[in-house]
């Protein structure tokens, strides 16, 4: 197959266009036909998005026809099993060759169950997010997981997989391998080999502050930074890995970037980490080309953001803003090891912590790339998003105390059911947060302690997490929710208590830096989708001392995060590296 180019497609007739893209989407030339009208395409990414948009704006029947145009995965397995030599790249890498009889039977069963539930074939991009193929175990696990889903969601997931298959076919057609994305993806995979004791056996990723795995990650990151060509690499007094790629002038102001390399327990491989690895890839390219920027570029792998081993969230970035809290030293972890002991054990020189505070006047600003950790980009089929603000948030741990009583003998009108009161609040919260459009409110923890099937709940514990893009909006939400909790409690004759455990101010993006990200994304041929960040990030800390703005990358699997299913594709990662390169180049142009 001869390679095609965007230039040739942009000038092709509709018939030639459709012919050139034949095989991208299974037996569905209408997709290319409709996308043709969107020419010219600025990039392959723009073409991919136009094809996606054609499917997005199709009717549900057309979407279902597209799904049904695909052979069943179990059918493929049967073919793969029958073939002694594999005929296509997809089958070679699909992992479905050499199924054991048990696996084959399992797939057949899943297939039957799936068809019975959804009525269309299960579609999975078996080459996976790295393009190198899922294992049979991964395929079966995904099949099982998706079988449990809701039909609406599963149809959308099939379409997303179809787009991913199309994307890889287009990469092949265009001869465009996402080399930079692959590099970052592989680094992340390698870094994920290190996990805390007890988690390796479970196949889970957990890297908490200053454990052996954590220190191994720091070691790897610093080694890779060296290899990338950073001029200075060091592990600082709190364990941050700091790489500096000097500008023409060593004393030039610097652009600061970075994110964290610690994880939550049983977390994902990309949360935080791609915000270190992507700028590393940028430096690697600059260094390989012997190119210097008219400013310094400082990349920091923050040692602690998640607050898992110690309640010291944002310890890493906080050290740079002078907010290291010395009371943390005496905090003990679950094994009774204080942070002071852990730091000494890691050879960190805690006397130097105050020296980590950055002089903001020597910095141009702070940018951070992060996986979205939410479903928005995934649902919109967009690889990148521009953060407008990091939402302000407040958290409470709450308790409702009613009166425990016998479930059989207490008439409905004589109850003080603590859980029903919380149920009423949960529904209010849902409506009230939705009314704002972009506020969110969550009861994530909920339990009736020692609840019995035949006892009316006398106590109910729950958490409240309330967020909004501005502090004023957040505070109005908080006020309404707490007032409603009081009103419900008064009416139901139960007691309500709320203990505030966190209050974080909103961190709106700096307008100039946000615009730089927007231009960087637009230069890729992609729309600059603007969105708030619902999660907190290191940028919130740096926000306190310098202008900041963030770029989000799409998370697969509905953007699930803090979970092993967290995933990114190599193509999206490629786009993230290129966006970051665009930002660096823009800034260089501005400063020269």
* Cβ-proximal residues to 230 (8 Å cutoff; 6+ apart), any chain: 243, 244, 245, 283, 287, 299
In the DSSP assignment, the letter for residue 209 is T
Stretch that binds a copy of itself, among 64-72, 134-142, 452-460, 521-529 (CB under 8 A): 452-460
Binding mask 469-508 for a copy of itself (x = CB under 8 A): ------------------------xxx-----x-------
Q: Rule CB under 8 A: is residue 451 a binding residue for a copy of itself? A: yes
The two most distant CA atoms of the chain are separated, in Å, by 81
For the bound state, the minimum distance from the C-beta of residue 479 to a copy of itself, rounded and expressed in Å, comes to: 18
Residue 289 backbone zone (phi > 0: left; psi -120 to 50: alpha; other: beta): alpha
Q: Rule CB under 8 A: is residue 399 a binding residue for a copy of itself? A: no
Contact (CB, 8 A) for 35 and 127: no
- Member of 433, 478, 507, 584 binding a copy of itself (CB under 8 A): 433
Q: Rule CB under 8 A: is residue 405 a binding residue for a copy of itself? A: yes
Q: What part of residues 539-558 is at the interface with a copy of itself (CB under 8 A)?
A: 558
Q: What part of residues 1-60 is at the interface with a copy of itself (CB under 8 A)?
A: none
For the bound state, the minimum distance from the C-beta of residue 567 to a copy of itself, rounded and expressed in Å, comes to: 14
Q: Rule CB under 8 A: is residue 272 a binding residue for a copy of itself? A: no
For the bound state, the minimum distance from the C-beta of residue 419 to a copy of itself, rounded and expressed in Å, comes to: 5
Which helix (H) or strand (E) segment holds residue 374: the answer is none
Which one, 10 or 452, has the nearer CB to a copy of itself? 452
Q: Rule CB under 8 A: is residue 145 a binding residue for a copy of itself? A: no
- Can you give 356-374 as a three-state secondary structure string? HCCCHHHEEEEEEEEECCC
For the bound state, the minimum distance from the C-beta of residue 345 to a copy of itself, rounded and expressed in Å, comes to: 29
In the DSSP assignment, the letter for residue 85 is S
For the bound state, the minimum distance from the C-beta of residue 450 to a copy of itself, rounded and expressed in Å, comes to: 9
Contact (CB, 8 A) for 6 and 50: no
Stretch that binds a copy of itself, among 40-48, 430-438, 517-525, 541-549 (CB under 8 A): 430-438
Contact (CB, 8 A) for 132 and 95: no
Helix (H, G, I), strand (E, B) or coil at 60: helix
- Member of 26, 379, 475, 480 binding a copy of itself (CB under 8 A): 379
Q: What part of residues 149-188 is at the interface with a copy of itself (CB under 8 A)?
A: 149-150, 152-153
Q: How far apart are CA 309 and CA 242, in angstroms?
A: 22
Stretch that binds a copy of itself, among 125-133, 349-357, 393-401, 473-481 (CB under 8 A): 393-401
DSSP-assigned states of every residue in 280-334: HHHHHHHHHTT---SSEEEEEEES-SS--SSS-TTHHHHHHTT---GGGGG-B-T
Which one, 307 or 527, has the nearer CB to a copy of itself? 307
Contact (CB, 8 A) for 422 and 460: yes
Which one, 253 or 562, has the nearer CB to a copy of itself? 562
Q: How far apart are CA 83 and CA 111, in angstroms?
A: 20
For the bound state, the minimum distance from the C-beta of residue 368 to a copy of itself, rounded and expressed in Å, comes to: 15
- Member of 442, 470, 515, 585 binding a copy of itself (CB under 8 A): 442
Any long-range contacts for 152-156 (C-beta under 8 Å, 24+ apart)? 153/558, 154/118, 155/60, 155/63, 155/64, 155/67, 155/118, 155/120, 156/379
Which one, 303 or 448, has the nearer CB to a copy of itself? 448
Which helix (H) or strand (E) segment holds residue 384: the answer is strand 384-390
Which one, 290 or 444, has the nearer CB to a copy of itself? 444
Q: Rule CB under 8 A: is residue 250 a binding residue for a copy of itself? A: no
Q: Rule CB under 8 A: is residue 401 a binding residue for a copy of itself? A: yes
- Member of 225, 364, 419, 482 binding a copy of itself (CB under 8 A): 419
Q: How far is CA 271 from the centre of its chain?
A: 6
Which one, 224 or 496, has the nearer CB to a copy of itself? 496
Q: Rule CB under 8 A: is residue 375 a binding residue for a copy of itself? A: yes
- Member of 287, 313, 410, 585 binding a copy of itself (CB under 8 A): 410
Q: Which of 528, 524, 514 is nearest to 579 (CA)?
A: 524
Which one, 6 or 504, has the nearer CB to a copy of itself? 504
Binding mask 332-371 for a copy of itself (x = CB under 8 A): ----------------------------------------
Helix (H, G, I), strand (E, B) or coil at 257: strand
Which one, 82 or 427, has the nearer CB to a copy of itself? 427
Q: What are phi and psi of 211, to 5 degrees?
A: -70, 170
Helix (H, G, I), strand (E, B) or coil at 440: strand
Q: Which of 571, 572, 153 is nearest to 375 (CA)?
A: 153
For the bound state, the minimum distance from the C-beta of residue 420 to a copy of itself, rounded and expressed in Å, comes to: 5
For the bound state, the minimum distance from the C-beta of residue 556 to a copy of itself, rounded and expressed in Å, comes to: 13
Polymer length in residues for the chain: 592
Q: What part of residues 118-137 is at the interface with a copy of itself (CB under 8 A)?
A: none
Q: What share of the chain is helix, strand, coil (3-state, %, to 5)?
A: 45, 15, 35
Q: Rule CB under 8 A: is residue 306 a binding residue for a copy of itself? A: no
- Member of 417, 571, 572, 574 binding a copy of itself (CB under 8 A): 417
Tell me: cis bond preceding 40? Omega within 30 of 0 counts.
yes
Which one, 34 or 395, has the nearer CB to a copy of itself? 395
Which one, 175 or 493, has the nearer CB to a copy of itself? 493
């Amino acid at each position: 197959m001869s390679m095609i180019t965007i230039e040739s497609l942009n000038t092709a007739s509709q018939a030639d266009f459709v012919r050139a893209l034949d095989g991208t989407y299974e037996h569905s030339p209408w997709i290319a036909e409709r996308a043709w009208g969107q020419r010219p395409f600025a990039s392959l990414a723009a073409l991919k998005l136009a094809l996606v948009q054609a499917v997005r704006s199709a009717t549900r029947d057309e979407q279902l026809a597209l799904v049904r145009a695909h052979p069943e995965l179990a059918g493929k397995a049967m073919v793969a099993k029958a073939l002694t030599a594999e005929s296509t790249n997809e089958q070679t890498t699909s992992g479905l060759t050499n199924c054991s009889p048990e696996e084959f039977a399992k797939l057949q069963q899943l297939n039957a169950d799936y068809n019975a539930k959804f009525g269309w074939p299960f579609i999975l991009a078996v080459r996976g997010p790295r393009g190198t193929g899922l294992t049979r175990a991964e395929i079966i696990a995904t099949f099982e997981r998706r079988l449990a889903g809701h039909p609406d969601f599963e149809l959308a997931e099939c379409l997303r997989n179809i787009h991913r298959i199309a994307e890889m076919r287009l990469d092949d057609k265009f001869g465009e391998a996402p080399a930079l994305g692959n590099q970052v993806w592989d680094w992340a995979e390698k870094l994920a080999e290190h996990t805390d004791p007890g988690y390796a056996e479970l196949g889970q990723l957990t890297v908490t502050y200053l454990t052996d795995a954590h220190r191994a990650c720091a070691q790897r990151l610093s080694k890779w930074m060296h290899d990338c060509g950073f001029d200075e690499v060091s592990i600082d007094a709190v364990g941050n890995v700091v790489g500096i790629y000097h500008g023409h002038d060593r004393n030039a102001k610097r652009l600061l970037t970075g994110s964290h390399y610690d994880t939550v327990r049983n977390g994902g491989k990309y949360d935080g980490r791609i915000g270190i690895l992507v700028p590393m890839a940028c430096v690697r390219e600059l260094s390989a080309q012997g190119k210097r920027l008219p400013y310094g570029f400082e990349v920091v792998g923050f040692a602690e953001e998640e607050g898992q081993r110690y309640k010291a969230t944002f310890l890493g970035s906080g050290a740079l803003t002078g907010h290291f809290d010395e009371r943390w030293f005496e905090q003990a972890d679950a094994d009774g090891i204080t942070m002071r002991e852990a730091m000494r054990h890691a050879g960190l020189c805690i006397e130097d912590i105050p020296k980590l505070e950055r002089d903001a006047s020597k910095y141009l600003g702070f940018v951070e790339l992060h996986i979205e950790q939410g479903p928005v980009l995934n649902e919109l089929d967009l690889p990148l998003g521009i953060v407008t603000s990091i939402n302000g948030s407040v958290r409470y741990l709450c308790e409702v105390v009613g009166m425990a009583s016998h479930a059989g003998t207490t008439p409905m009108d004589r109850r003080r059911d603590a859980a029903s009161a919380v149920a009423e609040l949960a529904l209010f919260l849902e409506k009230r947060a939705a009314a704002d459009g972009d506020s969110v409110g969550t009861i994530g923890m909920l339990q009736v302690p020692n609840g019995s099937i035949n006892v009316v709940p006398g106590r109910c514990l729950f958490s409240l997490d309330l967020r909004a893009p501005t502090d004023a909006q957040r505070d109005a939400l908080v006020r309404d929710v707490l007032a409603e909790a009081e009103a419900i409690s008064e009416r139901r004759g139960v007691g309500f208590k709320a203990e505030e455990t966190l209050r974080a101010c909103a961190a709106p993006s700096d307008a100039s830096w946000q615009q730089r990200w927007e231009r960087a994304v637009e230069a890729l041929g992609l729309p600059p989708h603007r969105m708030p960040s619902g999660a907190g990030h290191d940028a919130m800390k740096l926000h306190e001392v310098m202008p900041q703005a963030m770029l989000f990358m799409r998370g697969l699997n509905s953007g699930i995060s803090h979970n092993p299913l967290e995933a990114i594709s190599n193509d999206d990662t490629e786009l993230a590296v290129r966006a970051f390169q665009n930002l660096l180049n823009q800034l260089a142009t501005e400063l020269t």
